[in-house]
Structure 1
């Protein structure tokens, strides 16, 4: 099963996605997309690793090149999140650059082929305004392309608002 969980900042989307994983089969993988830039980021990553380990997650770091991820066994994977992955692929010199959306979608296909269940967390786009500075439009367009294509492929699409899941496609399991 492929599920896309979207929502705004602090909407509860991550907690909801994690609750879906905790209902699923073992093994549980947490595909972490955050780039570690400094000691503060490293401390945050370590704190989250400990929290996830207590819930029987194995963390797989994948800030770039999702297609290179190899899961040791079939199970349930939670990718957190597409916003980070899109920024990393778009702006990191080692990333996919102009091919970001296609690279991420190919990577998602590769990961999903290794899972029983894949749950992907993403940010809402184009609901917070229309006038963005700098290169933000390019980022938002790439993320929207990924969100739209993934929503079309997904078995379930759920938007979380104030911690409340609203299903646009599929049903809550």
Structure 2
């Protein structure tokens, strides 16, 4: 089963997605997309890794190239989050660049084939204003392509608003 969980900043989307994973059997994988740039990032990653370990998650770092991820066994995977992954693929010199959206969608398909359940968290950033500075529109377009492509393939799509999950597709939350 493939589930897309969307929400704005601090909406409760991550907590909701994690609650879905905790209802499943082991093994549980947490696919972390954050790139570690400095000591502050490293400390944050370690804190989250320890929190997840208590919940029996095995962390798999994947800031780039989802197509290269090989899970040790079938189980449930939680990918957190598409916003980071899209930025990484779009802007990192080792990333997919202009082909970021298609590379991510291909990687998600390969990943889903390795899982009983794949739960993907993404940012809902399209309700805001317009006229963003710099290269933001390029990023938003790529993330929209990924979100839209994944939503079309997903068995369930849930948007979390103020901690309340609202189903748009598939099983009711």
The CA RMSD over aligned residues, in Å, is 0.7
Q: Which runs of 5+ in 1 are unaligned?
A: none
Cross-structure match for 2:102: 102
1:75 aligned partner: 75
Equivalence for 2:92: 92
Aligned to 1:63: 63
1:118-129 matches, within 5 Å, as: 118-129=118-129
TM-score, normalised to structure 1, is 0.99
Question: Cα distance, 1:171 vs. partner?
Answer: 1.4
Give the CA deviation at 1:128: 1.1
Task: Kindly state the Cα deviation for residue 79 of structure 1 after the two structures are TM-superposed.
Answer: 0.1
Partner SS for 1:77? strand
1:107, distance to aligned residue in structure 2 (A): 0.4
Determine the structure 1 residue equivalent to 2:156: 156
CA distance in 1, matches of 2:34, 2:172: 28
Q: Which residue of 2 aligns with 1:145?
A: 145
- The CA distance in 2 between the partners of 1:52 and 1:172, in whole Å, is 26
Q: Distance in 1 between matches of 2:13 and 2:125?
A: 14
Cα shift readout 1:68-113 (whole Å, capped 9, x = no counterpart): 0000000000000000000000000000000000000000011100
- Structure 2: gaps (5+ residues): none
Q: Which residue of 2 aligns with 1:116?
A: 116
Report the counterpart of residue 169 of structure 2 in structure 1: 169
Query: Which residue of structure 1 aligns with residue 51 of structure 2?
Result: 51
Equivalenced residues, count: 173
Q: CA deviation at 1:164?
A: 0.2
Q: Secondary structure at the match of 2:125?
A: coil
> Structure 2 length as normaliser, TM-score?
0.99
Paired residue for 1:37? 37
Per-residue CA distance 1:18-52 (angstroms, 9 max, x = gap): 00000012100000000000000000000000000
Distance in 1, matches of 2:81 and 2:30, equals 10
